[in-house]
């Protein structure tokens, strides 16, 4: 005589078998019903379309979010974006990106220092600035006094103002000041290019190069300047435009000094460097007659 547990197991097995046989018999009895199979096929196709469509929409959304996020990161800070991507994608390789960024920053600083001191040197050699900026080291042949004056001014500004406002605020102040200074420089450069090719080199004048491009560039500069002060930045960043104004006033003062009657000839020598002029070759002596 079987135990109660075995009887229960046999009953469940028999019920499961009957259910499976009933399902199979039902499907076999409907296999000739085209509407049934068409309905099943339509349902399966709809299910597949729903799954693929939802997956594709989610993938498209994630792709748009990825591109938008990267774009905003690059607009906000290119360097920070490069560091984030390198650290997440390259692992330890992000250190190489950091070294490259530091190298680029130092290179820019060296280039700015070199160009600014040579500009002072060139202006002094033509008489536009005091002669002290045009002194050349007897051994190294560099404008050492212009380098020392420029370095002393930079250290003084960074240490004094940096200690008062803090390095981040000072960076923002000089960033805004530099923005407005370059707006003036490149804006005047656009005007000068138009005037030069209209008055001096009329045969080379080109409407696209000397009118359209300068107008577009100047309009972009004006827009950048507008967005830099509207709305007005918080203190002390709004000091930046004041620094630029002081810079412009100092430049106008230097121009007024250079335009004194005693120094009226400096503009005629503005494109020359007296110590690098190559004297014209002497004419060859006449050969004696044969």
Tens of pLDDT, residues 205-253? 999 999 999 999 999 999 988 988 888 888 888 898 998 999 899 888 8
Asked if residue 116 lies in contact with residue 143, where contact means CB atoms within 8 angstroms, the answer is: no
170 CB contacts (<8 Å, ≥6 apart)? 158, 161, 162
Could you give the CA distance from residue 281 to residue 290 in angstroms, rounded to a whole number?
26
Mean pLDDT of the chain: 77
* pLDDT of amino acid 95: 79
Q: Give the range among 88-97, 101-110, 163-172, 237-246 with minimum mean pLDDT.
A: 88-97
Q: What is the pLDDT of residue 272?
A: 62
Instruction: Taking residues 157-168, report their average pLDDT.
Output: 87
What is the C-alpha to C-alpha distance for residues 67 and 11, in angstroms, rounded to an integer? 61
Cα–Cα dist 92/99, whole Å: 12
- Count Cβ atoms within 10 A of the Cβ of residue 103 and give its class: 0-12 exposed, 13-18 middle, 19 or more buried: exposed
Q: How far apart are CA 149 and CA 128, in angstroms?
A: 17
């Amino acid at each position: 005589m079987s135990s109660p547990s075995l009887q229960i197991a046999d009953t469940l097995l028999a019920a499961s078998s009957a259910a499976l046989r009933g399902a199979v018999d039902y499907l076999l009895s409907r296999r000739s019903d085209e509407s049934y199979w068409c309905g099943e096929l339509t349902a399966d196709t709809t299910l597949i379309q729903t799954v693929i469509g939802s997956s594709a929409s989610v993938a498209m959304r994630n792709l748009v979010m990825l591109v938008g996020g990267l774009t905003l990161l690059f607009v906000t800070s290119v360097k920070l974006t490069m560091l984030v991507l390198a650290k997440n994608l390259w692992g330890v390789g992000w250190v190489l990106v950091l070294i490259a960024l530091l190298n680029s920053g130092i290179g820019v600083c060296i280039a700015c220092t070199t160009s600014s001191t040579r500009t002072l040197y060139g202006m002094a050699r033509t008489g536009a600035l005091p002669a002290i900026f045009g002194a050349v080291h007897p051994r190294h042949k560099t404008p050492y006094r212009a380098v020392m004056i420029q370095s002393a001014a930079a250290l003084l500004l960074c240490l004094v103002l940096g200690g008062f406002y803090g390095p981040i605020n000072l960076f923002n102040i000089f960033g805004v000041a530099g923005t407005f200074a370059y707006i003036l420089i490149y804006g005047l450069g656009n005007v000068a290019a138009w005037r030069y090719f209209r008055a001096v080199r009329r045969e080379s004048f080109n409407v696209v190069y000397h009118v359209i491009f300068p107008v577009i560039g100047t309009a972009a500069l004006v827009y950048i300047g507008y967005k830099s002060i509207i709305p007005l930045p918080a203190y002390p960043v709004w000091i930046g435009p004041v620094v630029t104004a002081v810079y412009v006033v100092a430049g106008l003062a230097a121009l007024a000094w250079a335009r004194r009657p005693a120094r009226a000839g400096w503009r005629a020598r503005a494109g020359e460097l007296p110590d690098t002029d190559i004297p014209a070759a002497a004419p060859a002596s006449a050969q004696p007659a044969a």
